[in-house]
């Protein structure tokens, strides 16, 4: 047979035929959307149908806002890798995972670095961690001049089948090496201030807390600075604070021992973020162990392996190796569409369905969304949506608002928002306070060998009004 599958065949494999799509779509999201585009692989009409969210809209003191900053494992123009940003009316904010590309969306959404200092990692795959580098490196160059707190899994305990070695593949070791990996960056950029006056710790400090996927222990901890207070953690509790925020964790089943899921509770509101996982009972238990269900349950979801193989291969043989690999990955790691429906149905049977379920880590386009919703609907009739980047969900006791952020493709860094900025910064590490230094206390030339400086072109040669010409370093 022909090696190339038609779109109709792809859709059949994923559970819906093209002819029924508009009907399915209307049913799935209450008739508020329409298929506008001729090619359903190039359109997310579910997202497009949402009401606009204006960035910078204040959050009510009793509200929780969840912004999707990365929603896919396939990084693409419309969807970066994994990240969920949660803001609370208390003023607290939390980053859950920060995979490749997501800082583009944080910056585009004008989220200041000072709001991105608490990072909760579900596991240590690059599609959930890659942009930690960018947050860490560039936070202190903006208003992220306070320590970076990282929570994540403990070591897997798996022995290498070839060497019999057991690796320290947990979050503490990850952070220790991460700190050194970025040494050239952090030193080089420490000619300007990276710590607020009167604040504890520097923007390049890291505080890592390891969450034991097996026992719930939170005792394995590491910090670059012993004077920084240890976060308030406890058994199966990653974080809690005086504002009543509690972030607990529970095991996930994804790829290798160690993956975890998180549950955030505050002010009578709650959300779960599964990270990546096979369908599991830990999730059902944690989604139903409160007096009510959670408000927002964010679960990963994967397209059927046939769709994965065809979408990624161009012209694969769906009975061949590509399909087997796709099936293997799903078996090892992920939640099929019907499994998510089944899980939600289990919560509903206990009278504790979430007010809203959100599928993410999913390539969201019309010809994947509507078959997926149909598969979920085969089990569950509650409110479900499929996330894409810049979807914003505002949760209060009375309402859950789903919106799409309206953003600029040409945004710059967000304005400084940390109130400690009014105190100014401590002198930089590479400091030069001499009165003859026109840049004092900054020392922009402190890290250069004289042989390099000897070859720098004198600014007076190209612009006599240049600051470097009118205010030369004394050595010149
Ligand atoms: Zn992933």
> Is the sign of the CA dihedral 421, 407, 360, 378 positive or negative?
positive
106 Cα–ligand 1 center, Å: 19
129 Cα–ligand 1 center, Å: 10
Cβ count within 10 A of residue 27: 14
Residues 415 and 476 in one domain: no
358 Cα–ligand 1 center, Å: 16
Residues 222 and 251 in one domain: yes
Is 2 within the bounds of a domain? Answer: no
Q: How far apart are CA 43 and CA 224, in angstroms?
A: 46
State the DSSP H helix or E strand holding residue 332, giving kind and residue range, or none if neither. helix 321-333
Which of the four pLDDT bands, split at 50, 70 and 90, describes residue 24?
A: very low
At 31 the pLDDT is 41
Is 1 within the bounds of a domain? Answer: no
Give the closest residue to 54 by CA, choosing from 340, 401, 302. 401
Q: How far apart are CA 271 and CA 294, in angstroms?
A: 6
Cβ count within 10 A of residue 247: 25
209 Cα–ligand 1 center, Å: 21
Calculate what percentage of the chain has a pLDDT beyond 90. Answer: 87
384 Cα–ligand 1 center, Å: 21
Is 459 within the bounds of a domain? Answer: yes
Residues 111 and 140 in one domain: yes
Most confident of 7-11, 20-24, 267-271: 267-271
**Helix, strand, or coil (residue 399):** coil
Residues 414 and 435 in one domain: no
At 474 the pLDDT is 80
At 116 the pLDDT is 98
Mean pLDDT computed over 240-264: 98
Range of the domain at 444: 430-476
Mean pLDDT computed over 299-321: 81
- In this predicted model, what pLDDT tens digit does every residue of 169-224 receive, in sequence order? 999 999 999 999 999 999 999 999 999 998 889 999 999 999 999 999 999 999 99
Domain total of the chain: 2
| Crossing angle of the two packed helices 281-288 and 337-349, in degrees rounded to 10 | 40
162 Cα–ligand 1 center, Å: 26
Picking from 420, 446, 466, the residue at the C-terminal end of a domain is 420
Give the pTM: 0.91
Residues 273 and 370 in one domain: yes
Residues 214 and 283 in one domain: yes
360 Cα–ligand 1 center, Å: 10
200 Cα–ligand 1 center, Å: 34
**Helix, strand, or coil (residue 201):** coil
User: What's the Cα-to-Cα distance from 270 to each of 35, 179, 381, rounded to whole Å?
Assistant: 33, 33, 21
Residues 333 and 462 in one domain: no
Cβ count within 10 A of residue 92: 19
Q: How far apart are CA 240 and CA 232, in angstroms?
A: 6
CB–CB of 115/304 below 8 Å? no
User: What's the Cα-to-Cα distance from 205 to each of 135, 185, 202, 224, rounded to whole Å?
Assistant: 12, 13, 5, 6
Which of the four pLDDT bands, split at 50, 70 and 90, describes residue 59?
A: very high
Residues 6+ apart with CB under 8 A from 345: 379, 380
414 Cα–ligand 1 center, Å: 28
At 312 the pLDDT is 85
- In this predicted model, what pLDDT tens digit does every residue of 42-57 receive, in sequence order? 999 999 999 999 999 9
At 232 the pLDDT is 94
Give the closest residue to 85 by CA, choosing from 119, 57, 44, 62. 119
User: What's the Cα-to-Cα distance from 322 to each of 188, 256, 276, 336, 431, rounded to whole Å?
Assistant: 45, 22, 21, 18, 56
CB–CB of 260/122 below 8 Å? yes
- In this predicted model, what pLDDT tens digit does every residue of 110-160 receive, in sequence order? 999 999 999 999 999 999 999 999 999 999 999 999 999 999 999 999 999
Residues 466 and 333 in one domain: no
Residues 11 and 36 in one domain: yes
467 Cα–ligand 1 center, Å: 48
Which of the four pLDDT bands, split at 50, 70 and 90, describes residue 28?
A: very low
At 32 the pLDDT is 43
Could you list the beta-strand ranges (E) of 170-289. 206-211, 221-223, 237-240, 246-251, 260-266, 269-273
252 Cα–ligand 1 center, Å: 12
Could you list the beta-strand ranges (E) of 181-321. 206-211, 221-223, 237-240, 246-251, 260-266, 269-273, 296-300
Residues 158 and 131 in one domain: yes
Residues 377 and 455 in one domain: no
Is 468 within the bounds of a domain? Answer: yes
* Residue 1 predicted with pLDDT over 50: no
Is 27 within the bounds of a domain? Answer: yes
CB-based burial of residue 424 (10 Å sphere; 0-12 exposed, 13-18 middle, 19+ buried)?
Answer: exposed
128 Cα–ligand 1 center, Å: 6
Give the CATH number, domain containing residue 130. Answer: 3.60.15.10
The tokens of 12 are what? 């059949």
Average pLDDT, the chain: 92
Residues 348 and 475 in one domain: no
Picking from 420, 444, 459, the residue at the C-terminal end of a domain is 420
280 Cα–ligand 1 center, Å: 17
* Residue 419 predicted with pLDDT over 60: yes
* Residue 14 predicted with pLDDT over 70: no
């Amino acid at each position: 047979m022909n090696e190339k599958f038609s779109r109709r065949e792809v859709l059949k494999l994923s559970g819906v035929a093209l002819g029924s799509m508009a009907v399915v779509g209307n049913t799935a999201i209450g008739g508020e959307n329409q298929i506008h585009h001729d090619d359903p692989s190039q359109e997310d009409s579910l997202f497009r149908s949402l009401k606009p969210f204006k960035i910078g809209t204040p959050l009510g003191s009793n509200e929780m806002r969840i912004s999707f900053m990365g929603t896919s494992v396939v990084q693409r123009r419309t969807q970066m890798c994994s990240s969920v940003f949660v803001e609370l009316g208390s003023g607290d904010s939390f980053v859950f995972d920060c995979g490749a590309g997501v800082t583009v969306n944080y910056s585009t959404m004008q989220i200041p670095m000072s709001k991105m200092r608490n990072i909760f990692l579900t596991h240590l795959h690059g599609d959930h961690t890659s942009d930690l580098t960018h947050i860490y490196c560039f936070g202190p160059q903006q208003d992220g001049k306070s320590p970076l707190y990282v929570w994540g899994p403990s070591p897997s305990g798996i022995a290498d089948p070839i060497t019999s070695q057991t690796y320290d593949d947990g979050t503490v070791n990850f952070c220790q090496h991460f700190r050194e990996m970025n040494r050239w960056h952090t030193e080089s950029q420490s000619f300007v201030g990276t710590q607020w006056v009167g604040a504890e710790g520097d923007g390049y400090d890291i505080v890592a807390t390891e969450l034991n996927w097996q026992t719930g222990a939170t005792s394995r901890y590491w910090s670059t600075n012993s004077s920084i207070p240890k976060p308030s953690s406890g058994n199966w509790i990653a974080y809690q604070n005086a504002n009543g925020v509690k972030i607990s964790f529970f095991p996930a089943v994804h790829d290798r021992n160690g993956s975890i899921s998180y549950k955030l509770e505050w002010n009578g509101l709650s959300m779960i973020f599964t990270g990546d996982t096979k369908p599991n009972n830990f999730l059902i238990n944690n989604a139903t162990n409160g007096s009510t269900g959670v408000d927002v349950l964010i679960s990963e979801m994967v397209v059927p392996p046939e769709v994965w193989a065809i979408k990624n291969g161009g012209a694969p043989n769906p009975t061949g190796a590509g399909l087997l690999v796709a099936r293997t990955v799903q078996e090892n790691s992920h939640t099929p569409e019907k499994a998510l429906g089944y899980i939600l149905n289990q919560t509903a049977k206990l009278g504790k369905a979430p007010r809203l379920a959100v599928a993410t880590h999913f390539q969201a386009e019309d010809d994947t969304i509507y078959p997926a919703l149909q598969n979920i609907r085969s089990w569950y009739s509650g409110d479900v949506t499929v996330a894409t980047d810049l979807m914003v969900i505002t949760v209060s006791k009375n309402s859950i608002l789903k919106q799409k952020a309206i953003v600029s493709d040409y945004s710059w860094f967000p304005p400084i928002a940390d109130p400690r900025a009014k105190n100014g910064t401590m002198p930089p590490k590479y400091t030069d306070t001499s009165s003859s230094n026109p840049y004092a206390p900054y020392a922009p030339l402190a890290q250069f060998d004289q042989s390099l400086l000897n070859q720098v072109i004198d600014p007076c040669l190209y612009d006599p009004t240049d600051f470097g010409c009118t205010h030369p370093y004394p050595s010149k």
